[in-house]
Chains A and B, each alone.
Chain A
Amino acid sequence: MNVGQYWTQISELTLASVKARYRRTFAGFLWVLLNPILQFGVQSLVFKQFLKLDTPNYYLFLLGGLLPWIFITTTIGMGTPVFVSNSHLLRSFKINPMIVLCSQILDNFINFMASVFLILTPIYLFSNQSLVNLLGIPLAILPLLITTASITVILATLNVFYRDINFVIGFILNLLFFLTPVFYPREYVPDHLRWIIDVNPFLYVIEPFRWLFLSPSWSEFMMWFGKGIGVSIGFLLISIYVWKRRRNEFYFRL
């Protein structure tokens, strides 16, 4: 099979599962946007109004970190059980399991892009900032997408062997939310403790995206982008290794 055929399969499967879930209703689509809007509403209320975090352009700052974070957590959360929940299908036919997983990832990615263009971009335009930065979006989402997809591949594969991984991961992501600079800037962290958040790989895929909306110098953006690409290549290699190593046993354990 060539790349085009894989793409056809993944996109048609994505379309079908979206259709199954929402039956093409408008309310179904609103539901997708409701989650980020509510999270954004509550967090900006708590951190800006209650705790009075003093960061310029806080709403843009928060959204720029929160939307990628929601993409990461929902993709991992929905992607990890994919092999197990489709085990009957995967055991019945010669279908590359990656097609089923990629379609789940694509589904979440579309939701993410919808929230970027319908929530974040309007707020950004209202704040009268340069339009040029929006051109950087395709670049900035690259490390985010690759890293999230690779981690999901690793976890979905391991979940076939250790069925409680989904539970453990949900727990870990809850902790990581506070150790990732999503609602606070990295600069708030005292120098001697900063390593705690600097070892967090999610930092390097969220920051390039967020920088775009804070009108940075491009050199600073490229610095974050470079690190993000480094992290994503690392996870991509690990995911290929894990999948190749586990591929046979996978079918015994499904």
Chain B
Amino acid sequence: MNSTSGSEVIMSVKDIKIFFELEHYHHKGIRDVFVSAMSHPFEFLMKQKELFYVINGVSLNITQGMRLGILGTNGSGKTTLCRSLAGMMQPQLGSISTVKEVRAIFDTGTGVVPELTGRENAYLLARLFFPAKKDLKGIVEEAIEFSELGHFIDIPFNQYSKGMQSRLLLPLVTSIPSDILILDEVFDAADIFFQNKFAGRMKTFIASSSATIFVSHSIDQIRQVCNHLIVLHKGKIHFEGSVEEGYQEYLKLNPSSEVLDRSPFGPGT
């Protein structure tokens, strides 16, 4: 293996596949199903459903201390891979085994009950993130302090700008160290001053977690955080190794010709 070989494996991914029947995607509602069953009854019942593989055989070992970056074009399966590593999705084939606690964040632009204030949302989110923690006051108040939101903290969360939302959420999710941390394109909203302030906190946090999995389209961010990289392409690992080599491999992929027409969602998903 690569630079991290020899370390203790804390998460082991063995040949996982995630797929679904493409047929569902032509039906937006029960009415569509009804209409197509009535107008083409034979086809509706007999037509072979086409399988679409979002993840098509990925094997991966996450070792102690690994800061894994994931690069890939839109629709290459990055988010789906992260969701399965986080345990939100269960691969139909293959296995993922870990004994560690996994925390995963895919977006920072959302509150639990947006009608409530930022502070109330912070407490709720903390409860959802840290179910085992008895007393949340210390960590939530510290995160609020760090966010520098001032009196904005007591106005409804749905009046926050995207940047303000991530100012509140980023310190909150990094308030307790986690074993494995998954961050999927979460750094883009906050302003440059906060990003710089947050970078220091992030370094400490990453240092105290056993492993970090980091998805970004910004190679600079990946260079800052990661010591290992995979390039995902068409649901498979196209490259695994060092950050710089991986970036060169990534640039060789030409997304315009084949990737986008393969995705049933269109670009950007």
Contacts and interface: CB of A to CB of B under 8 A. Distances in A.
Interface string A1-36: 100011011001100110111000000000000000
Contacts of B103: 94
A161 interface: yes
Contacts of A88: 107, 109-110
B124 interface: yes
B30 to A, nearest CB: 5
A162 B116 contact: no
B120 A16 contact: yes
A164 interface: yes
Nearest to B136: A12
Interface stretch (B87-95, B193-201, B218-226, B242-250): B87-95
Interface residues of A, number: 32
Contact of A249 (B24, B106, B124): B24
B11 interface: no
Contacts of A195: none
Contact of B29 (A91, A164, A252, A253): A164
Interface in A219-242: none
Contacts of A93: 104-106, 110, 125, 128-129
Interface in B10-43: 18, 20, 24, 27-33
Contacts of A168: 30
A12 to B, nearest CB: 5
Which interface residue of B104, B105, B127 has the most chain A CB atoms within 10 A? B127
B90 A247 contact: yes
Contacts of B28: 162-164
Contacts of B54: 252
B102 A94 contact: yes
A173 interface: no
B90 A91 contact: no
Contacts of B128: 9, 13, 93, 95, 99
Contacts of A19: 116, 120
Interface of B: 18, 20, 24, 27-33, 54, 80, 83, 86-92, 102-113, 115-116, 120, 124-125, 127-129, 131-132, 265
Interface of A: 1, 5-6, 8-9, 12-13, 16-17, 19-21, 88-89, 91-95, 99, 161-165, 168, 247-249, 251-253
Closest 4 CB pairs of A and B: A164-B29, A5-B131, A92-B107, A20-B115
